């Protein structure tokens, strides 16, 4: 079969449903000290949803300036190479003057043919005109692990 686009190809791989991605970390936005972490580190992953090989996330950044660039840097090969995905500002959130934040959304394009046991690693970058801040999960990077579907094991 000839595919009309990469999206067509991805849809066909999704239909196979052989593997899925699982977040190998706790969601920072669920932590009771989430806002303190944003205030301390200036940027923090808030939440992530994974559906097959589509990854969508929310990032919170301290409002230091009006002009800012938030992006997610990710890798399929333990950082031998990497890609950057820009995040788009969704909303400005009120808070105490020093803790006013902006919420950003991002999407990552993940190839559907990853091997079981492989990882996608990522970190969040927040740049202002004069400074750069990273959220790399306290130096461990965020990781998504490719796993076999549970019902696949039942047939082996």
Decide if 1 is inside a domain: no
* Residue 148 pLDDT greater than 90, yes or no: no
* Residue 149 pLDDT greater than 80, yes or no: no
Decide if 52 is inside a domain: yes
Decide if 17 is inside a domain: yes
Residue with tokens 């950044």: 61
Decide if 25 is inside a domain: yes
139: tokens are 């130096």
pLDDT at 155: 42
Residue 42 CA to residue 36 CA, distance in Å, equals 9
Decide if 139 is inside a domain: yes
Q: Which residues pair with 88 in a beta bridge?
A: 105
Q: Which residues pair with 74 in a beta bridge?
A: 83, 122
- Is the overall model pTM greater than 0.75, yes or no? yes
* Residue 15 pLDDT greater than 80, yes or no: no
75: tokens are 């890798």
* Residue 153 pLDDT greater than 50, yes or no: no
pLDDT at 115: 86
pLDDT at 42: 96
Q: Which domain holds residue 36?
A: 6-149
Residue 118: pLDDT band with limits 50, 70, 90: very high
* Residue 16 pLDDT greater than 60, yes or no: no
DSSP H or E run through 120: strand 119-127
In the chain, count H helices and then E strands: 3, 10
Residue with tokens 């990032």: 59
Q: What's the total number of domains in the chain?
A: 1
Decide if 156 is inside a domain: no
**CATH number, domain with residue 48:** 2.60.40.2440
Decide if 99 is inside a domain: yes
pLDDT at 78: 93
* Residue 17 pLDDT greater than 90, yes or no: no
- Mean pLDDT, residues 47-58 taken together: 89
Decide if 98 is inside a domain: yes
Q: Cα dihedral angle (32, 35, 38, 39), rounded to 10 degrees?
A: -130
- Residue 149: which residues within 8 A CB-CB, separation 6 or more? 17, 18, 19, 20
What three-state secondary structure class fits 132?
Answer: strand
């Amino acid at each position: 079969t000839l595919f009309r686009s990469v999206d067509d190809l991805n849809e066909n791989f999704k239909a196979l449903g052989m593997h899925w991605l699982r977040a190998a970390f706790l969601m920072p936005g669920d932590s009771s000290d989430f806002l303190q972490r944003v205030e301390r580190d200036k940027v923090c992953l808030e939440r992530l949803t994974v559906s097959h090989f589509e990854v969508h996330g929310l990032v919170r950044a301290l409002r230091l300036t009006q002009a800012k660039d938030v992006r997610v840097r990710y890798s399929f090969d333990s950082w031998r190479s990497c890609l950057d995905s820009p995040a788009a500002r969704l909303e400005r959130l009120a808070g105490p003057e020093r803790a006013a934040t902006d919420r950003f959304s991002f999407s990552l394009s993940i190839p559907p043919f990853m091997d079981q046991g492989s990882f996608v690693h990522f970190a969040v970058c927040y740049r202002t005109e004069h400074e750069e801040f990273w959220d790399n999960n306290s130096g461990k990077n965020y990781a998504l692990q490719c796993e076999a579907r549970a019902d696949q094991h039942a047939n082996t």
